[in-house]
Amino acid sequence: MASRTPVHLPPLEDKAFLALVIAISAVFAWILWPFYGAIFWGTALAILFMPLYRRLLRSLWHRPTLAALATLTIILVMVILPLALIAALVLQEASAVYQRMQSGELNWGTYAQRAFDTLPQWLARLLDRFGLTSVGLVQERLAAALKKSSQFLASHALNAGQNALDFLVNLLVMIYLLFFLLRDGQQLARQIRDSIPLRADHQRELASKFTMVLRATVKGTLVVAAVQGALGGLIFWILGIHAPVLWAVLMAFLSLLPSVGAALVWLPVAIYLLVTGSTWPGIVLLAYGMLVISLIDNVLRPILVGMETRIPDYVVLVSTLGGIAAFGINGLVIGPMIAAMFIAVWDIFYRSRSAIEISHAGP
């Protein structure tokens, strides 16, 4: 391989070339933007499974292509296929719930009336002042909401095939990119580090922080949310509550929000069971939610992540909601990651400024 000699440019040409580099990089990023989700998750999975790739590389006689293929196969079996199966089950249960609502088998007005009949008189009178005990009004509002939902689904039905095709293309791009990032990721990372005009110690600290934050975000949010959702779906299935997989996925998503989380699902269901006479199922769900589901975050997250990488809950909440607003479903991870890197960069800046001030002060 031919050795590269450094190119020294005059100041004007150097500035012009730097502007060209920035412009071309911006245009290239604009071209890749439609696949940003595939690129992000391909990079994230490559970083997360890089230790496994290295172990397989040693076991497979240092054959990078074979080790990358083996790692990719494990990722497909452990991550992608289970997620696809869960998505299929959720769609099936959501379709069944919708059909039951259309046929009248699932009547929200009946459930509301059953709950209202068991309320204390003082609470019933209070709700009656606001018109919240009128079953007809509840049914009317639910019918209006259902009509709007149906219109929304109908308006987007023509795009379903295109959306499915886009998802498939992004999935294939992610898998294709993931293979090469596993195989050539270390060399690519070295080239990026050599090209970034930052001090070597800052590069090492930021790269280490980025990797640590990515792993902490995935393990400390996605894994914990998946466990909480799975445990919630399990107790719903045991208690005979309809569509347990659908409720499990909803609890998993809500678990990504600190402080509130899965309780937004299991707590109202437990209260409903209690007030409608299903006392023991309600008590079991209430105890299980408080002693098992809610404690998972406090017990499992420190084990998976470690306390040194935790971000304040209010930062996680705001960055998660902002990430979802900016990046859609990918913002669940991108938002907290950007917040963590923001904190890390300002921490490095603060320590650098403090060191400079101390050195200028002198003895």
pLDDT category, 21, cuts 50, 70, 90?
Answer: confident
Question: What CA–CA distance (Å, rounded) separates 299 from 285?
Answer: 20
Q: Can you spell out the DSSP letters for 167-236?
A: HHHHHHHHHHHHHHHHHHHHHHHHHHHHHS-S-HHHHHHHHHHHHHHHHHHIIIIIIHHHHHHHHHHHHH
Q: Could you tell me how far CA 239 lies from the centroid of its own chain?
A: 28
The confidence score (pLDDT) of residue 62 equals: 87
The confidence score (pLDDT) of residue 66 equals: 94
Helix, strand, coil percent content, the chain, rounded in steps of 5: 85, 0, 15
Give which of 190, 174, 186, 160 is closest to 80, Cα–Cα: 174
The confidence score (pLDDT) of residue 263 equals: 83
Contact call for residues 334 and 40 (beta carbons, < 8 A): yes
Structure tokens given for 129: 């002042």
Name every residue whose Cβ is closer than 8 Å to that of residue 43 and which is 6 or more positions away in sequence: 177, 181
Give the percent of the chain with pLDDT over 90: 17
pLDDT category, 121, cuts 50, 70, 90?
Answer: low
Q: Could you read off the pLDDT of 282-320 as tens digits, one per residue? A: 899 999 988 888 888 777 766 665 555 566 777 777 888
Q: Map residue 78 onto helix, strand or coil.
A: helix
Greater confidence (160 vs 310) lies with: 310
The confidence score (pLDDT) of residue 56 equals: 92
With 90 as the cut, is the pLDDT of residue 242 above it?
A: no
Contact call for residues 228 and 261 (beta carbons, < 8 A): yes
With 80 as the cut, is the pLDDT of residue 39 above it?
A: yes
Structure tokens given for 66: 């074979």
Give the percent of the chain with pLDDT over 70: 72
pLDDT category, 180, cuts 50, 70, 90?
Answer: very high
User: Residue range 158-166: average pLDDT?
Assistant: 57
With 50 as the cut, is the pLDDT of residue 43 above it?
A: yes
Question: What CA–CA distance (Å, rounded) separates 333 from 331?
Answer: 5
Contact call for residues 270 and 289 (beta carbons, < 8 A): yes
Give which of 229, 228, 220, 250 is closest to 97, Cα–Cα: 250
Q: Could you read off the pLDDT of 48-91 as tens digits, one per residue? A: 899 999 999 999 888 999 999 999 999 999 888 888 888 778 77
User: Residue range 136-160: average pLDDT?
Assistant: 50
pLDDT category, 153, cuts 50, 70, 90?
Answer: very low
